[in-house]
Structure 1
Amino acid sequence: MRHGSFAAPKQAQFFRWGLGALSVLALAACSGRGDRANAPVRVHDGIALPAEASIISVPIEADLTSLAKGLDHAVPTTLWTIDKRVARCIPPQRVKIFGARVKVLPAIPCALSGVVTRGPITLRGSGTDIVAEIPVNAHVTARDAGAKLKGETADGAATVAAHITLDFAKDWSPTGKVRLQYGWTTPPGIDVLGQRITFADKADEKLRPLLGKLQRELPAQLRKLNLRAQAERAWRSAFTSISLNDDHPPVWMRITPQQVFYGGYRIEEGELHLDAAVDGNTETFIGQRPPNPQAPALPDLVKGTPGNEVRLSIPVAADYDQLEPVLQRALSKRSARPFLLPGIGPVMAQFGQVTAYGTTERRIAVGIDVVATPTSSPSSRIQGHIWLTARPINQPGSAQVTFTDLQIQGHADRLGGDLLIALGNSPGITSLIATSLEQNLTKDLTGLIAKVRAAIAERRQGDFLIRARIDRVQTGILQAAGNGVYLPVRAIGRVQIVYRPTRT
């Protein structure tokens, strides 16, 4: 059995599927085969496979480490300093004398000094939430003129979480929005004479401008991820031919994208994954690797989720020279018994060479050398040639090939051709030929799909990792061509092309 595709019908090549692999066949030369008088017209056309509409996943990946480094470089490590006087660091002290409270110490003012710094900015995230974590530390010292506060110090700590959401313009330029969440894990404050003095409210005022700083810096840092450059690389990589089978013979799927879709992003293990896909045409070729299509400039981004479905046309075919020996054996076995012909009686028939090929109107032609001898008149022996044409058919979704609409014609080496016509039209011949020509391509179809599945499961082509799978198979309507009977098969599955450069 053969599985093939023809880039141009005038240059059709013919292939056979045998022993679980594709193999090349050449039809036997016409000389001496089927060139007898009254032979049906031999055609040499092939089946041109249609280009199929497909959608291929081309995810774009970016390491967020550079974004974290960029934000870390853009935001100063010293967020602000503290240098101010507080009128009542220590409230007035009173004692109770004869039932009355008497102030013995006035309120003590103090001077606060200190610094608020941040630690390294780190990124984490999941789903669509990118979180820049900023550790903040405050160190405050309090002193008063009377030296009652001898450099009392306080430390505070907060974790600021900057939640970043991304979007993309149609020219692939990234944009982002930031919202802050934070809370003091240890509010900065001082315990003096049983009093707790906190400064978190003052620190909060200084944290708010950090949001504006991050919002201003984010677009520039996002541009450094070079997402457009990676999108262009993924776009160009999709204009390729993927090997479906290495040899006997090579089978290729050529992809010609037309548009790019963006369906959102997600964060996984510190990497940004853009869900991108291209839609375009897929074609199947057999033989030499077809040239890659010319890739135009990266088109505008289209937002949407078109899915991921690849369609391949991979016909399964029966070569005519595979049918010839099957029919030859059946006729030879049948020749042991006479054929009963109306008005003639029993006729013994010996069958010689069988020739099969494609003829007009998508029919198959079968020629049989015959020597017919009526048992009542052995001297009336007739030698000639019978020609049969038939139309191969199948039921939708079935790989079982049957033949219908049989038509017989004959030619003899002398008068008596009517005997051959009668012999050819006898039920013993027509039913035998129709039954012998029947083929079941299910086994061949199963073997083909299994081999293609194994070939495309995962393979590397340069810096690109290609993963593909076949989810379901649909069979079409049989067609007879010049070089074989074709069962169109549509394989539907998924293909993903990921830029994954090899590391040295």
Structure 2
Amino acid sequence: MHVKAFAALLLIGSLAACDRRAAVEAPPRATDKAPSPTQKSLIAVPINANTASLKQTLERAVPRTLWTINQREPACVQPQRVKVFGKKVKVTPPIACTIVGQVTRGPLRLRGEGSDIVVDIPLSARISARDVGGVLKGETATGAAMAHARITVELTPDWRTQGKARITYGWTKAPGIDFLGRRITFTDEADAKLKPVVRDVEREVNREIAKIDIRKQAADVWRQSFTALELNRENPPVWMRVTPQRILYGGYHIEGDRMNLNLGLEAITETFVSGRPADPEPTALPRLVREVPKPHLDVRVPVIADYAVLQPVVDRALGKRSARPFILPKLGSMMVKFGKSTIYGAPGGRIAVGVDIEAKLEMRSGAPTKGRIWMTGIPVNNPGSAEVHFTDLIINGDTDGVGGDLLLVLGRSEGFAPLIAAALTQNFAHDLGELQDKIRRAVDQRREGPFVIRTRVERFETGVIKAYGNGMYLPVRMVGGASVDYRPPR
């Protein structure tokens, strides 16, 4: 007998002797679930305070006629002198007069300069000088000035507003008259009358600033930010739960009649691949933290591949392979028929694959050997890559026929394990791209109750895959920015 044939018969006999041992159990099933990723994000939450009421209050508080004057001056025009023999001699007496006039204001104009609210107050002066002797025949002086009330607003840690106003003005045309070749101005008289008016305006401004209620808006935003936002409607449904932690305040700027507060909502963002998670329980509005917010959205979007998706892929690969024999060292060729595979998560981040097999050596007579081969492996990918392959393959099995360990020889042959591993190898780039496109469209701009949410996704980053009981988990990080504009229904 040929040496190789004799050796093969010895091996078959030894395999048959092993049939009596206990069947090998299937690998245990993992019961852990992929985590719901948790991260901190800072969402811009601009709050707008209307300053139109400030203008209306000032319009009421600042009278149209700021002051009037009607007073006798003993020397509106000083005596005129000439030199005679080296000495100045008075040639005309001082001219007394009565100064009559008023200063009025025009419409107030509110505008913003950075963090200042500026109230422009146009002033007009009209003053007449009359004297008993008739020398000044009702000379009239006109003047113009622009007063500027510069208002700054301070937001305290307990959300109260405090105002500080400072008013300046300058005469663009000082009120005065020309008489006997000289200019007579009345700015001192006008200034004396304006000072108490300025104090009144400053007091009204500060009183009105304190009425701006930022706290109520902030409390509404804070309370309603404890919510869940839909990132993807279906295939798969993805939700982001927002749990606010604190509010940062980075000042304000003025646009027209609105004061825009630069606020940032620091929140824990959790992502769920499931139905809508329960909203977190709201907490009381915290004290304001004075810190310039740097909005950023940092969300982990879990991409979970169900094991059921892998089964038909493996079955198709095995079906194609069964068309040609496996060549086993020292045993020769073996024809193999494959049944449906079973795939699930196993402990230790492994995936278990069980395949029903009916195998028969061509050189051996009798019934084929039937049983199941089990293989476990660890899914791996390179960071940033969506292509997944398998390493650390371990083969085990159980049989019901003569030559029980024959299937283990098949499973551990060079052609079997790589075949299963190649069938399991997946490139999720297409699925990941579709999910990213869905998320971009879903979060671009949308309304959720009183909020208008704008999200800017700058990039997606792929992490390292891991197997869990409920599927393969490929973490994807979504980085960008987000703002929530509070627009309650009017």
1:445 corresponds to which of 432, 446, 455: 432
**1:89 is matched with which residue?**
76
46-55 vs 433-442, greater mean Cα deviation: 46-55
* CA RMSD across the alignment: 2.3
257-266 vs 479-488, greater mean Cα deviation: 479-488
3-state secondary structure, aligned to 1:315: strand
The structure-2 alpha-carbon separation of the partners of 1:409 and 1:37, relative to structure 1 and needing over 3 Å to count, comes to closer
3-state secondary structure, aligned to 2:438: helix
**1:385 is matched with which residue?**
372
**2:479 is matched with which residue?**
492
Give, in angstroms, the shift of residue 345 of structure 1. 1.8
CA contact (8 A) 2:37 2:301 kept: no
1:153 corresponds to which of 140, 149, 160: 140
Question: Could you state the TM-score of these two structures normalised by the residue count of structure 2?
Answer: 0.89
Is the counterpart of residue 332 in structure 1 residue 319 in structure 2? yes
Provide the rounded CA distance (Å) in 2 between the counterparts of 1:351 and 1:273: 69
3-state secondary structure, aligned to 2:405: helix
Provide the rounded CA distance (Å) in 1 between the counterparts of 2:430 and 2:234: 20
3-state secondary structure, aligned to 2:407: helix
The structure-2 alpha-carbon separation of the partners of 1:67 and 1:398, relative to structure 1 and needing over 3 Å to count, comes to same
3-state secondary structure, aligned to 1:175: strand
Give, in angstroms, the shift of residue 95 of structure 1. 8.1
Larger CA Rg, structure 1 vs 2: 2
The structure-2 alpha-carbon separation of the partners of 1:98 and 1:491, relative to structure 1 and needing over 3 Å to count, comes to closer
Provide the rounded CA distance (Å) in 2 between the counterparts of 1:446 and 1:85: 88
Give, in angstroms, the shift of residue 210 of structure 1. 4.2
CA contact (8 A) 2:386 2:427 kept: yes
Deviation per residue, 1:374-400 (Å, 9 max, x gap):
111142521111111111111222211
Is the counterpart of residue 483 in structure 1 residue 470 in structure 2? yes
Is the counterpart of residue 406 in structure 1 residue 406 in structure 2? no
**1:425 is matched with which residue?**
412
Matched to 1:335, the amino acid is S
Within a 5 Å distance, the mapping from 1:359-378 to structure 2 comes to 359-378=346-365
**1:168 is matched with which residue?**
155
Provide the rounded CA distance (Å) in 2 between the counterparts of 1:228 and 1:257: 16
Provide the rounded CA distance (Å) in 1 between the counterparts of 2:236 and 2:389: 28
Deviation per residue, 1:300-359 (Å, 9 max, x gap):
111002411222221112221221121112112222222222232221111121111112
Deviation per residue, 1:55-80 (Å, 9 max, x gap):
11111111221111122223333322
Matched to 2:99, the amino acid is L
Within a 5 Å distance, the mapping from 1:13-412 to structure 2 comes to 38-92=25-79, 105-248=92-235, 250-379=237-366, 381-412=368-399
The structure-2 alpha-carbon separation of the partners of 1:442 and 1:490, relative to structure 1 and needing over 3 Å to count, comes to same
Matched to 2:471, the amino acid is G
Provide the rounded CA distance (Å) in 2 between the counterparts of 1:95 and 1:426: 131
Within a 5 Å distance, the mapping from 1:444-483 to structure 2 comes to 444-483=431-470
Deviation per residue, 1:71-125 (Å, 9 max, x gap):
2223333322223222222344578999999755422111112222222322101
77-86 vs 339-348, greater mean Cα deviation: 77-86
The structure-2 alpha-carbon separation of the partners of 1:409 and 1:249, relative to structure 1 and needing over 3 Å to count, comes to closer
Matched to 1:212, the amino acid is R
CA contact (8 A) 2:67 2:194 kept: no
Gaps of 5+ in 2: 1-22
The structure-2 alpha-carbon separation of the partners of 1:385 and 1:179, relative to structure 1 and needing over 3 Å to count, comes to same
The structure-2 alpha-carbon separation of the partners of 1:223 and 1:101, relative to structure 1 and needing over 3 Å to count, comes to closer
Provide the rounded CA distance (Å) in 2 between the counterparts of 1:473 and 1:247: 19
Provide the rounded CA distance (Å) in 2 between the counterparts of 1:402 and 1:341: 25
Matched to 1:438, the amino acid is T
Provide the rounded CA distance (Å) in 2 between the counterparts of 1:285 and 1:349: 43
Matched to 2:120, the amino acid is E
How many residues are aligned here?
Answer: 468
3-state secondary structure, aligned to 1:111: strand
CA contact (8 A) 1:55 1:308 kept: yes
CA contact (8 A) 1:374 1:380 kept: no
Provide the rounded CA distance (Å) in 1 between the counterparts of 2:189 and 2:35: 77
276-285 vs 204-213, greater mean Cα deviation: 204-213
**1:10 is matched with which residue?**
none
**1:28 is matched with which residue?**
none
**1:33 is matched with which residue?**
none
Matched to 1:257, the amino acid is P
3-state secondary structure, aligned to 2:323: coil
The structure-2 alpha-carbon separation of the partners of 1:288 and 1:437, relative to structure 1 and needing over 3 Å to count, comes to closer
Provide the rounded CA distance (Å) in 2 between the counterparts of 1:211 and 1:260: 37
Give, in angstroms, the shift of residue 37 of structure 1. 6.5
Provide the rounded CA distance (Å) in 1 between the counterparts of 2:174 and 2:424: 90
**1:8 is matched with which residue?**
none
CA contact (8 A) 2:66 2:104 kept: yes
Provide the rounded CA distance (Å) in 2 between the counterparts of 1:287 and 1:72: 57
Matched to 1:336, the amino acid is A
**1:416 is matched with which residue?**
403
